[in-house]
Amino acid sequence: MTYFYKGVGVGTFLHATDLRTTGIAPARPTLSFSLSAAMLHVSSGVVMSPCISVTRSYAVAEDYAKYAGLTAPTLAKPAHVYVIEIPDPLPTGIAIHDPVEYVASHNRNPLASPSYHHNGDAKFLLAVVDPASHLGRFTTPPARPPGMAGGVPSGPVVTSELHTMVNSLRDAEILIVGIVHPAWVIQRFDIR
Amino acid sequence: MTAIKSIKLEGRIAATPLGINFLRAEWWGDLSRFVVIRYSERDGIEGSLRMDIDKRAFIDHIADPAKDEAVQSQALPIWEILAKLRNKHDWSSARAQGL
């Protein structure tokens, strides 16, 4: 059995209801799911999308619930982590995507550019994961290969594809396209 | 009781042309990647937008598209302030606690 988790912070849109009663609908269910929709949702945090984010990690969901509210959770007004169990095989009208696999499957040609590859140094990935702690790595130009001249030095190239894959891996994130039925939301934990 | 920490944005980030004035960033978890940006509009009404520090973006939107576009355009300047000041803030706070 595979469980997914969804963190809901205090004061956010989903906090107003009990998802075990209402289920979960994406913010824009009429939009079609695509590579760009997935990347905007994961890498830029665009919530007006056809996707619902869930995670395979309870710890990630709890962190989100606790810290990504509009106010801090309290005893009287806790945040929540919901446990979701999706039937297997999937019911009609719902799809589940692993953003890492989805982006990678659209970038199968290593001769094409841009893809999810960067041209920074071997520690540049740390800056993608945690940019605030590695500010300089976004502005330090990558080393230029001997014999290659020209151009104004600039920071490493980082694509939305890379951001999406890294953020998804970090958060163990899965995208659900469709409506999550209330019966699939099987448990709720209060987070204070 | 959760301790709320904050960094003042007023005076550091200019108000948008449509009159949205960024007041401060607040957070309640030192290691958290989320902060809440408090702002006020011309009519004095205050609002809040969550920002994901790692994504360098707001994860909330304002209903009015013109206002929202103006606000979203300030995400990176706000992020730069937070990236510089929040780490120092947390470090000095940790030192004060003897950590």
Percent of chain B having pLDDT more than 70? 86
Q: What is the dihedral of CA A44, A178, A115, A139, to 10 degrees?
A: 10
Task: Round the CA-based radius of gyration of chain B to a whole number and report it.
Answer: 14
pLDDT of B97 reads 45
Q: Give the pLDDT confidence score for residue B90 in this predicted structure.
A: 52
Which among A48, A73, A132 is the nearest to B82, CB-wise? A132
Residues in chain B within 8 Å Cβ distance of A73: 2
What is the reported pLDDT for B18? Answer: 86
Lowest mean pLDDT, pick from A58-62, A93-97, A116-120, A141-145: A141-145
Least confident stretch, A126-130, A185-189, B72-76: A126-130
A138 SS3 class: helix
pLDDT band (50, 70, 90) for residue A64: very high
Share of chain A above pLDDT 90, in %: 67
Residues 6+ apart with CB under 8 A from B31: none
**pLDDT score of B99:** 37
Environment class of A154 (CB within 10 Å of its CB; exposed 0-12, middle 13-18, buried 19+) = exposed
Condensed to tens digits (0 to 9), the pLDDT of residues A71-94 reads 999 999 999 999 999 999 999 999
Question: What residue has token string 């609908």?
Answer: A25
Contact A130 B54 (CB under 8 A): yes
Contact A167 B54 (CB under 8 A): yes
| Residue A164 clears pLDDT 90, i.e. is over it | yes
Contact B83 A131 (CB under 8 A): yes
Cβ neighbourhood burial of A163 (10 Å; 0-12, 13-18, 19+): buried
Residue pLDDT, tens place only, A90-121: 999 999 999 999 999 999 988 887 788 888 88
**In which band, very low, low, confident or very high, does the pLDDT at A48 lie, cut at 50, 70 and 90?**
confident
Residue A190 has a pLDDT of 98
Average pLDDT of chain A, as a whole number: 91
Residue B89: what pLDDT? Answer: 53
Residue A143: pLDDT band with limits 50, 70, 90: confident
Residue A129 to residue B2, Cβ atoms within 8 A: no
Between B96 and B38, residue with greater pLDDT:
B38
Residues of B in contact with A67 (CB under 8 A): 27-29, 32-34
- Residue B50: its H or E element: strand B46-52
- Please, which pLDDT band fits residue A142 given cuts at 50, 70 and 90? confident
Burial-class residue A68 by CB neighbours within 10 Å (0-12, 13-18, 19+).
Answer: buried
CA distance A63 to B33: 9
> Under 8 Å CB-to-CB from A18, ≥6 apart: which residues?
A188
All residues at 6 or more sequence positions from A4 whose CB lies less than 8 Å from its CB, including other chains: A54, A55, A56, A83, A84, A85, A86, A174, A176
